[in-house]
């Protein structure tokens, strides 16, 4: 049995990647980690060219990635939330799984899970609920394809302004916007997945649950 984990995070060894790998490792099964920046995947053209063949007509890596998803017994999808919703790489990947739908429902019944890294705390009432919206974007795909949704993990990530070097001077810095008028690069700090014990535990439990479901099949 094999689990595929797909990360849309462009950052090398990001919080998102490490959270995803913890879920995959916790399954105790064979797994493959896919970093979408290593592939070229255009969004779906809605041309319905895949209706009869279950294969996309766009000649890029989306075809091979859809095959990987089809062959896997379970899938974990991890993204982040630029402008408060799911990043475009992860979204394009999900759209390109559309060929697996017609007549067969190749993803139906498979355990599925989501990981989202976002920078806006959930108690922020002024900004959109980025984590929620990112998770929903992944889980709606899984729901609409009839997958068995096992769960989701939210990771608290970093707004780029804490790392850009100008976060306390820039008039467009998102630091006061997200964390309050008195917040600074120093007071916000860098959020690291491994220091978020709740998210770590949820990732481990999620991996174990995926394995339990597959082994019970």
Burial class (CB in 10 A: 0-12, 13-18, 19+), 141: buried
For residue 64, give the nearest of 4, 135, 2 by alpha carbon: 4
15 is a site residue for ligand FMN (CB under 6 A)? yes
113 forms bridges with which residues in the sheet? 76, 151
For residue 93, give the nearest of 51, 142, 131 by alpha carbon: 142
The span of 46-54, 59-67, 82-90, 197-205 binding ligand FMN (CB under 6 A) equals 82-90
If the CB atoms of residues 107 and 152 are measured against ligand FMN, the closer one turns out to be 152
80 is a site residue for ligand FMN (CB under 6 A)? yes
26 is a site residue for ligand FMN (CB under 6 A)? no
179 is a site residue for ligand FMN (CB under 6 A)? no
Burial class (CB in 10 A: 0-12, 13-18, 19+), 191: middle
The span of 13-21, 61-69, 92-100, 142-150 binding ligand FMN (CB under 6 A) equals 13-21
The residues binding ligand FMN (CB under 6 A) are 9, 11, 14-16, 80-84, 117-120, 130, 157-160, 191
């Amino acid at each position: 049995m094999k689990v595929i984990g797909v990360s849309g995070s462009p950052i090398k060894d990001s919080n998102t990647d490490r959270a995803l790998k913890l879920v995959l490792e916790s399954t105790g099964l064979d797994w493959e980690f896919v970093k979408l920046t290593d592939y070229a995947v255009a969004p779906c053209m809605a041309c319905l060219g895949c209706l009869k063949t279950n294969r996309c007509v766009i000649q890029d890596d989306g075809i091979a990635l859809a095959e990987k998803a089809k062959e896997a017994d379970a899938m974990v999808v991890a993204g982040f939330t630029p402008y408060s919703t799911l990043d475009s790489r992860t979204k394009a990947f999900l759209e390109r799984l559309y060929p697996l739908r017609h007549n067969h429902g190749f993803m139906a019944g498979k355990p599925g899970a989501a990981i989202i890294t976002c920078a806006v705390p959930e108690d922020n009432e002024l900004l959109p609920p980025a984590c929620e919206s990112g998770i929903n974007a992944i889980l709606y795909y899984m729901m609409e394809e009839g997958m068995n949704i096992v769960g989701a993990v939210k990771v608290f990530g970093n707004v780029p302004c804490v790392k850009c070097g100008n976060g306390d001077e820039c008039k467009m810095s998102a630091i006061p916007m997200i964390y309050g008028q008195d917040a600074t690069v120093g007071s916000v700090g860098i959020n690291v997945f491994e220091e978020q014990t709740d998210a770590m535990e949820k990732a481990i439990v999620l991996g174990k649950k995926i394995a339990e479901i597959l082994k019970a099949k």
